[in-house]
Structure 1
Amino acid sequence: MASFLAPRCDVQGLDRYLIRRAILCALLSQRDRLRGTLLDVGCGQMPYRSILTGPDGQVTGYLGLDFAVNPIHDNQPDLCWENGRIPLADASVDSALCTEVLEHCPDPDAVLSEVARVLRPGGCLLFSVPFLWPLHEVPYDHYRYTPFALRRHLTKAGFGSIQIQAMGGWDASLAQMLGLWVRRRPMGRLRRALLSLLVYPLYRWLVQADGRAAVEFTESQMLTGLWGTAVKPGKQKSEPPSMQQAAAE
């Protein structure tokens, strides 16, 4: 979990540093909006649970939802997707998290509609999706989203107040490709070690340069990934029910 909560820009992490840093920064910037009972959609091993339920977080109940139980994971989900539905009552959670999940959903509209259904009015969804990333979890890697398609899916599901931002632009994209190439392209261990050391200074410079450049969704813009927030329309109540009530069908 340390690589999720404290990503390091070193030669071993050139392939994953940028994306994990971007997701962590997004979470920390929106932590005050994720409150009450939170549903972690496609939770995996729930790497961000501790920072959302810790002393600086506003989450009082954490429900992990996955699409199937993975016996190799140390942390098992609290809930599993059942017959195309989230096994929760309508308007039963206060906020939701969906990081690097929607690209694996054959029917993202169905998933987002279910998230909107179980969210209370005024509840916030924080999401992220990759754009520049290799095939992964094959054959369950279905999509790469543009900001325009992502907004359309969220709107169709009933969300409003949609804000979408880039994880990185041109410089981050080149850094990402260099990192993926040097750490994941098939090659011998010695060659990988030498190339990683050679690439590392340029990688760091690109990461720093990207942080100084604003990213707008215009023609020919390059992206590493996207993150954002969306809200279920309506006013959120100040006293959310307990997690036990949320889990009641």
Structure 2
Amino acid sequence: HASQLPGKSVYDLSAGSGYIAGLFQAQGAHVHLFDLFPDQNKRSDLHCEKIDLQKPFPIADAAADIVICSETMEHLPDQHHFFRETARILKTGGRLLLTTPNTSSLRSRLAQFLGESEHYRPPLPNEHDAFVRWPGRTDGYFGKIFLSGLLRLRLLAALQGLRIDRVVKTRVSSTSQLLLITYPLIWFFSWRNYRRQLRAHPEQRTALTEIFQLNTSTGVLLSKHLIVEWVKG
């Protein structure tokens, strides 16, 4: 909430042009910009530092009230490392705001079934175009070959003590709306698995209930993108 931002330490780990950081700065937050390519920062007057999200973050423990990572997770081979480092730099009660393509949507599930691709696009990059290099540079990043659904992201975050506070609904996919005809099946099989696991592991009720709710959420199933907010502790 904007009223809670003044004075907060915000770390944008995928600052890009600096647009999102500027929004937080305008609300009175102390914003720190990082990106693999700092010279992308054209829309913020703040200094942007270089960061490789697959290496230890150059940020002190418990430094951040809020960490932002926008449209980057799908490019990271070691997502476990990302969540471990993010949890390290977050204060207790701090929040991670993450956006990524929604591979948990009905449209994405159909695309995976039909051609193992994202949203009816061509198949995943092959060895000739999997790694993207910027003109005149030797470093770069992987394309969208590490897409993760919400349940996998939830697990990786939970292992580091981060729990989902909310999943924000985004623009609805018309294809996913048409595929809602399959919702009764999704709900039935999710419920059946939930009940079976609960009988076998009653001590896991909280986690199993959250997984069931996420897997049957129409907001998740219909949205084109995931915007997820985690809290530490």
What's the CA shift for 1:83?
7.1
Note closer, same or farther for the CA distance 1:219–1:117 as it changes in structure 2 (3 Å cut).
Answer: closer
Equivalent position of 2:231 in the other structure: 231
Render the CA deviation track for 1:109-163: whole Å, top value 9, x for unaligned. Answer: 1011111101111111111111255579953122333221221121122212432
What's the CA shift for 1:34?
4.8
- The residue type equivalent to 1:97 in the other structure is I
Equivalent position of 1:47 in the other structure: 19
Give runs of aligned pairs for residues 1-249 of structure 1, distance below 5 A. 30-32=1-3, 34=5, 36-54=8-26, 57-59=27-29, 61-66=30-35, 68-69=36-37, 71=39, 74=42, 77-81=48-52, 84-131=55-102, 138-139=130-131, 140=142, 141-171=144-174, 217-218=215-216, 221-233=221-233
Note closer, same or farther for the CA distance 1:71–1:92 as it changes in structure 2 (3 Å cut).
Answer: closer
**Runs of 4+ displaced beyond 4 Å:** 32-35, 70-73, 132-138
Count of residues paired in the alignment: 161
Note closer, same or farther for the CA distance 1:39–1:85 as it changes in structure 2 (3 Å cut).
Answer: same
Q: Distance in 2 between matches of 1:114 and 1:103?
A: 17
Note closer, same or farther for the CA distance 1:108–1:218 as it changes in structure 2 (3 Å cut).
Answer: same
Render the CA deviation track for 1:179-231: whole Å, top value 9, x for unaligned. Answer: xxxxxxxxxxxxxxxxxxxxxxxxxxxxxxxxxxxxx7429944411112111
Q: Distance in 2 between matches of 1:92 and 1:113?
A: 14
Note closer, same or farther for the CA distance 1:143–1:85 as it changes in structure 2 (3 Å cut).
Answer: same
Note closer, same or farther for the CA distance 1:82–1:112 as it changes in structure 2 (3 Å cut).
Answer: closer
Q: For the Cα contact (< 8 Å) 1:128–1:227, is it kept in 2?
A: yes
Q: For the Cα contact (< 8 Å) 1:94–1:124, is it kept in 2?
A: yes
What's the CA shift for 1:45?
1.6
What's the CA shift for 1:169?
3.6
Equivalent position of 1:206 in the other structure: none
Q: Distance in 1 between matches of 2:148 and 2:54?
A: 25
Q: Which runs of 5+ in 2 are unaligned?
A: 103-107, 109-118, 132-141, 178-213
Q: Distance in 1 between matches of 2:71 and 2:19?
A: 12
Render the CA deviation track for 1:219-249: whole Å, top value 9, x for unaligned. Answer: 994441111211111xxxxxxxxxxxxxxxx
Q: TM-score, normalised by structure 1?
A: 0.54
- The residue type equivalent to 2:216 in the other structure is T
SS in 1 for 2:97: strand
* Greater relative contact order, per chain length (Cα 8 Å cut-off, separation 6+): 1
Q: Distance in 1 between matches of 2:95 and 2:217?
A: 30
Note closer, same or farther for the CA distance 1:146–1:166 as it changes in structure 2 (3 Å cut).
Answer: farther
Q: TM-score, normalised by structure 2?
A: 0.57
Q: Which runs of 5+ in 1 are unaligned?
A: 1-29, 175-215, 234-249
Q: Distance in 1 between matches of 2:54 and 2:225?
A: 30
Equivalent position of 1:23 in the other structure: none
SS in 1 for 2:98: strand
